[in-house]
Structure 1
């Protein structure tokens, strides 16, 4: 399941669950904490990570924006409310999805089936975004120019990291970097991959339409769009949470479907390539690897059931 997420972010392989972009701003970072929890290698860590997610979400956002005391109080309250809603409303849906995935893990796949699962993850992600728009609008309206500059510095740091991993390297180094990430996530699900499976994965990644220059250009556009959106909101009079939430919804719609000519079709091609990659690799897995995947998914289901029954 972790493999489906980064297909949409344009890194050539299917990696982690639902989202359109890992590093496009504080909104997605906060709301993706539950998704990240499900990508952990140890099932027992899921409960710990989820229960710590409100605090981690706060510190993550604070690291990006350097919040003041008033902002911190409001944000902690909003994050707690978000996770209370999520535990009650979303975790039961995740449990159902995990049960379905356990069945699917035992049979051959096909690209259309893989893309159907990705579409379900995308829908879950969009529900998180919609639920988080109001609190994020409150935060956006309160950010100072210094805090926006702080956010931009973090963006610049992440952009340099992307360049070092995917742009300022040879084609073979870039392929190896993508392969390493994909292998880690597949092996979390299936256990060790065989040499033949690694060769298949390498070739699929080599044939992927992933273009790091195009991805970086889109990342920069999204970051600039976010900063510009927030600044326009703060300059508008009167500025209120309803208009701010609408503006952020518009920004996120442009994340999900870029206004850059040709990029939506390119993004769709990346997702399709990811679905084809997953199906191709899954169909080479042994009965033992499929049984391992079922055990992993069942462990996640057990942890989520425990979370839904915990007092909170």
Structure 2
């Protein structure tokens, strides 16, 4: 499934990008070119890092002494580094395309962003506080089960209880993203230019905390710290079979990434 999705990523990315506003023919041609360039770069430069990260995760989960909060923090930091590595090459091409939008295209883009935000608010923030916590707990159980296989009723109950006591930060994340989007639309309407748009994207990518209010930063930090603790506690409850299942899932991803990366190396030799 990873290979299938990756082999169609050019079409998927173009479809996703074109869904934001009505690009002109020349803009679509530029998007097509940039997507192709990006995917070639990604196969060659990003996939090896993903493989090393997954190997690190597997070794940490299966270590005899068990996983610690320091381990989770280290893996989180490496995940963030890989995210920056993955997104950085998109910044300048995206800024260039966005700097060419006319007034009608900007208006359509603002509407699209607002609609997507409204739908996410409806999905993530609909209902009472307890209902939102219950929904999040269900998602946590589903995520763990997807990674390690079937959970026992005791494990499901334990994960649910842990999740229910973790601070709720979805509102802070959504509010921060909406503020970022408003800043972007303001720059586009002011015809700020490619450099300022790229600088805004780079700030979001490298130092996202600087765009948070003190309240948002406090909520997100509390959530992430609690998730670190929860991850360690869940790892401690995994059975040998569940760890094996996780290792098999990781091995499958690694195998797919290696095959995709090898295609680039083979093509380079030819």
TM-score by length of 1: 0.78
1:263-274 map, 5 Å: 263-274=216-227
1:1-312 map, 5 Å: 45-107=1-63, 108-232=66-190, 234=191, 236=192, 239=193, 241-252=194-205, 255-311=208-264
The alpha-carbon distance between structure 1 residues 282 and 243, as it changes in their structure 2 partners (threshold 3 A), is same
Distance 1:286 1:280 in 2: 13
Distance 1:195 1:295 in 2: 23
- Bigger mean CA deviation after superposition, 295-304 or 99-108: 99-108
Distance 1:210 1:73 in 2: 42
Distance 1:256 1:46 in 2: 32
CA-based RMSD: 2.0
Larger helix fraction of residues: 2
Contact 1:209 1:269 in 2 (8 A): yes
* Alignment match, 1:40: none
Superposition deviation, residue 78 in structure 1: 0.7
Superposition deviation, residue 76 in structure 1: 1.0
* Unaligned residue ranges in structure 1 (runs of 5+): 1-44
Distance 2:244 2:25 in 1: 50
Distance 2:134 2:237 in 1: 21
* Unaligned residue ranges in structure 2 (runs of 5+): none
Q: Deviation string for 1:186-210 (max 9, x for gaps)?
A: 1121001222222222122211111
Superposition deviation, residue 129 in structure 1: 2.4
Contact 1:229 1:247 in 2 (8 A): no
Count of residues in Structure 1 that have an aligned counterpart in Structure 2: 263
Superposition deviation, residue 158 in structure 1: 2.4
Aligned to 2:214, the other structure's residue is in SS state: coil
Distance 1:102 1:274 in 2: 19
- Bigger mean CA deviation after superposition, 211-220 or 274-283: 211-220
Runs ≥4 in structure 1, deviation > 3 angstroms?
A: 211-216, 241-244, 250-257
Distance 2:44 2:145 in 1: 31
Superposition deviation, residue 256 in structure 1: 4.4
